[in-house]
Amino acid sequence: MIVDMFADKLPQVLRETTIEHVVLVRLTDLMPALPGLIAYSVIKYWNRMVPPCTVPTTALRVALAHGATLQQERKLQVAAYTAQVEHETLAVLQYTGGTTGVSKGAMLSHGNLLANVAQLDAFVQGHIAHGKECVLAVLPLYHIFAFTVNMLYFLCGGGAQHPGRQPAPARQPSTRDRKLPDLVDSWREHAV
């Protein structure tokens, strides 16, 4: 699976892997139809944040519909699969550019993710009211810190999260001379 905003990276990734099928996800795929259409139009056409995808992919909605059909036709039991999942079982391929900008996939197991949640829980114990917290997720979920803290930890604890508005890139060319990371640099135009 890849978010369509990063689909231009697919040819390079596919050359270096044995991946045969790619599911293309739109950020708006699971939104109601009209708000999703409006949001996607802004993302793709106004902000021009969706590059052309040059390799064959399957849309998330098509993949989900196909999966539901197969599950029904073959009488597949999801519980039977989850009963076989162990700590070492691969859960996520976290693709990241890290600090080098070169894409690489980190293989994270269910045990890795559970350990991350347990570590964070031990660290913040007594300071978090599980099920009553609401967190503002300002980092995108493809960032490993946001993925672990916002998505895994707060959702596991019954908390809610609201995606923060992503800051627009800074318009002042002089800020680039400072070699600040893009995310930090983009905050310059926004009051904190």
Contacts from 41-48 at CB under 8 Å and sequence distance 24+? 43/5
Structural domain contains residue 89? no
Q: What is the mean pLDDT of residues 130-157?
A: 79
- Residue 191, SS3 per DSSP: coil
Asked if 77 and 24 sit in the same domain, the reply is: yes
Number of structural domains (the chain) is 2
Q: Residue 148 has what pLDDT?
A: 84
Structural domain contains residue 48? yes
Share of residues in the chain with pLDDT > 70 (%): 80
Asked if 79 and 117 sit in the same domain, the reply is: no
pLDDT band of residue 46 (cuts 50, 70, 90) is confident
pLDDT band of residue 170 (cuts 50, 70, 90) is very low
Share of residues in the chain with pLDDT > 90 (%): 18
Q: Residue 112 has what pLDDT?
A: 92
Query: What integer best gives the mean pLDDT of the chain?
Result: 79
The whole domain housing 138 covers: 110-192
The mean-pLDDT minimum among 110-114, 135-139, 186-190 falls in 186-190
Q: Residue 98 has what pLDDT?
A: 63
> Between these two residues, 67 and 177, which has the higher pLDDT value?
67
Asked if 119 and 48 sit in the same domain, the reply is: no
Contacts of 107 (CB under 8 A, 6+ apart): 90, 93
Structural domain contains residue 31? yes
Q: Residue 84 has what pLDDT?
A: 87
Tell me the whole-structure pTM to 2 decimals. Answer: 0.52
For 178, the token pair is 């400072």
Asked if 74 and 15 sit in the same domain, the reply is: yes
Asked if 66 and 3 sit in the same domain, the reply is: yes
